[in-house]
Structure 1
Amino acid sequence: MAPVHWADAPPFATVFSSTMRMQTLASYMRLQTDQVAWPMRMQRQRPLKASRENWNKQGIQSSQATTEFGSPGSLSEIGCVAVKLPDPTLLHEGSDDGREGSRVGGKRESDGGAERGGGRAGCVDERDQGGCLAHEREGQRRQDKEELLWARCSAALPFDDLHQAEIEALCTMSSTRRRLTFAGGRIALRRAMALAHCGNVSCAPVLKGDDGAPCMPAEMLLGSISHTDGLAVAVAATAQRDWQRRALGVDVERVSRESPMRLTKRILAPDEALRLGDLGMPAGAELTLRFSMKEALYKALFPLVRRSIPWHSVVANPTLDGLCELDLSRLEQHASTRLVAEARWVIVDDFFLTSASAFLL
């Protein structure tokens, strides 16, 4: 199957998909994929850019390994799917859902109920009435614009890929951006679950939990969702045992949306900052990648430690082969626990895709 590039793909099309079989988090992993060969060994290979084109040029072969795993950090199979979202420039046009504007005619709406002069409440003079009417018209205009934008963007939405409860959840959202990212994330996750052979993936909805993470429809299912303008990505797997001690994380960021360098000290530990520039990309782009890597690791580690994870407690240094060197010793000391984790990254068109898996020892 030929690669489908993001710019050429229709809305809600799958632009990246892969299945991974991991033998241990500390040794190596194998993968079969339609579009890109992920790195197969944890050891550093000769330098190469972590892109679809260069991996294909290197001729790295996919694997059909079916070995059952018995080590602590193993999962049966991990599916990863990225789904294109409608044009982000359209989203920006209607991203304001009209909830702003709590001030009317220079006064807060709550002030309108105060008694004035003749004892009338609400808008008591022509200026106040004009302000209220203008506010109502502006709110209606924004709502109409939002509904029009939603009608345009949802025309290609594959509602058959969504559970009825997820569609009902969409109806409660006033913002087109929230609707699209919610739907795109669930579509990507359901396709990832199908790719990883997670069973009947349409039997139950995937709604948002109290911590913001998706509530998987079955106990043994693991999953994670991320999205940015133009793309939603998800990973899913089945844990045949010890599922309470395993977790996955995924994140996606725009390559072209470089992070301000003033955030370096906040995001990177001192020893990470010393290695900024190892990948040969612009410093702002590499900082975005490192931020994304830590976001994916946070999603995989937080369910296991259930406490705040300081930025500097996880040392993550991405390598040129698309993998990552990790040091969790500070987090282990902070959380008084032992952990094993693995992370990887890939560039798909203008997006960094990062993923992580973790196991509580």
Structure 2
Amino acid sequence: MIELTNIAAPEALLHPLVQVRACRFHYDGNGVTDGVSAPASTDVPILPESMTRAVAKRQAEFLAGRLAASAALRSLGASGHVPVGEDRSPQWPAGIVGSISHTDRLAIAVVARATQCIGLGIDIEPVMDSDTVRNLQHMIARPEELALKPQSLSLPQFLTLLFSAKEALYKAVFPRLQQVLEFHDARLLGVRDNTLQLALCSNDLPGWARQPFNVSSCLTDGLGFSWCYQLTPSMDHEVNTCLI
């Protein structure tokens, strides 16, 4: 059995041009074999044929992510399920950009109109334990990036947010870039408040991808959240003007 429940998204992720929806999920070892419980008046997402034999955890993550995505799409006046592309990325309706992330028991989806946002990326990660830090530190961060760790963050917290921020950035740029990136293809330039500034340093990047990118982040309930909302230039100016 898989149980899906809509919950309020973390307030820090909210933005006037972006729809954010979250779903909490629970599952047992039988997965969809014993059925799926979803909120009333909600269409249960469709599990692709390729996932019918997946483990229950993977099935639950997928369904929760799609349930959150469908709810976010409805808030934009769009509808329909979000299928999986050949590259395994979500295939959003025409005129919509979006991103999905999930971790243990929680999935979040963000969507926006393509006329207002040119890229969205979101990522959730549990704060790393010491063993994970030891095993992954060399993959996530260069020495010069480690030197930028704020004193307010422990090493596990910092590496979690850096890992998550790079994931969010990759998700935001991939639909336009269509280029597979590794962790060292993004470099941390600095950290200010809750914002990590990153730059892509892969070869043969188009001009727009060579600019620095700001990725917001926060820690809550033992999880690291990162999101990269890339507004179109006109919308970015309009929103910033309204906030002044």
TM-score bracket for this pair, using the shorter chain length: 0.7 to 0.9
Output one character per residue of 1:286-336: Cα deviation in whole Å (capped at 9) or x when no partner.
2122111111111112222222223223223674632222233x24x5424
- Does residue 206 (structure 1) correspond to residue 82 (structure 2)? The answer is yes
The 2-side partners of 1:170 and 1:159 are apart by 25
In the alignment, which of 155, 163, 176 is matched to residue 56 of structure 2? 176
> What letter matches 2:96 in structure 1?
L
1:240 corresponds to: 115
1:58 corresponds to: none
> What letter matches 1:290 in structure 2?
L
C-alpha RMSD over aligned residues: 3.2
Shift of residue 169, structure 1, vs aligned partner? 2.7
Classify the secondary structure of the residue corresponding to 2:111: strand
Query: Which segments of 5 or more consecutive residues in structure 2 lack a partner in the other structure?
Result: 234-244
1:337 corresponds to: 207
2:123 corresponds to: 251
- Does residue 215 (structure 1) correspond to residue 215 (structure 2)? The answer is no
Shift of residue 281, structure 1, vs aligned partner? 2.8
1:270 corresponds to: 143
Output one character per residue of 1:11-30: Cα deviation in whole Å (capped at 9) or x when no partner.
5334442xxxxxxxxxxxxx
The 2-side partners of 1:256 and 1:263 are apart by 10
Output one character per residue of 1:265-289: Cα deviation in whole Å (capped at 9) or x when no partner.
221133212123x152331232122
Classify the secondary structure of the residue corresponding to 1:271: helix
Between the two proteins, the alignment pairs up a number of residues equal to 227
Relative distance call for 1:335 and 1:252 in structure 2 (3 A) is same
Relative distance call for 1:275 and 1:262 in structure 2 (3 A) is farther
Larger Rg: 1
1:227 corresponds to: 102
Q: Is the Cα contact below 8 Å between 1:213 and 1:224 reproduced in 2?
A: no
Q: Is the Cα contact below 8 Å between 1:346 and 1:354 reproduced in 2?
A: yes
TM-score, scaled to structure 1: 0.54
> What letter matches 1:176 in structure 2?
A
Q: Is the Cα contact below 8 Å between 2:127 and 2:156 reproduced in 1?
A: no
1:189 corresponds to: 69
Q: Is the Cα contact below 8 Å between 1:85 and 1:181 reproduced in 2?
A: yes
In percent, how many aligned pairs have the same letter?
25
The 1-side partners of 2:22 and 2:129 are apart by 19
> What letter matches 1:182 in structure 2?
F
Q: Is the Cα contact below 8 Å between 2:124 and 2:225 reproduced in 1?
A: yes
The 1-side partners of 2:81 and 2:191 are apart by 37
> What letter matches 1:325 in structure 2?
Q
Relative distance call for 1:79 and 1:317 in structure 2 (3 A) is farther
> What letter matches 2:182 in structure 1?
P
Relative distance call for 1:198 and 1:320 in structure 2 (3 A) is same
1:157 corresponds to: 38
Shift of residue 181, structure 1, vs aligned partner? 1.0
The 2-side partners of 1:356 and 1:302 are apart by 12
Classify the secondary structure of the residue corresponding to 1:212: coil
> What letter matches 2:215 in structure 1?
A
Relative distance call for 1:13 and 1:213 in structure 2 (3 A) is same
Relative distance call for 1:193 and 1:342 in structure 2 (3 A) is farther
- Does residue 260 (structure 1) correspond to residue 133 (structure 2)? The answer is yes
2:239 corresponds to: none
2:11 corresponds to: 36
- Does residue 295 (structure 1) correspond to residue 167 (structure 2)? The answer is yes
The 2-side partners of 1:232 and 1:296 are apart by 14
In the alignment, which of 1, 11, 18 is matched to residue 78 of structure 1? 18
Output one character per residue of 1:17-60: Cα deviation in whole Å (capped at 9) or x when no partner.
2xxxxxxxxxxxxxxxxx6356xxxxxxxxxxxxxxxxxxxxxx
> What letter matches 1:213 in structure 2?
S
User: Which has the larger share of strand?
Assistant: 2
Classify the secondary structure of the residue corresponding to 2:4: coil
Query: Which segments of 5 or more consecutive residues in structure 1 lack a partner in the other structure?
Result: 1-10, 18-34, 39-61, 66-76, 95-145
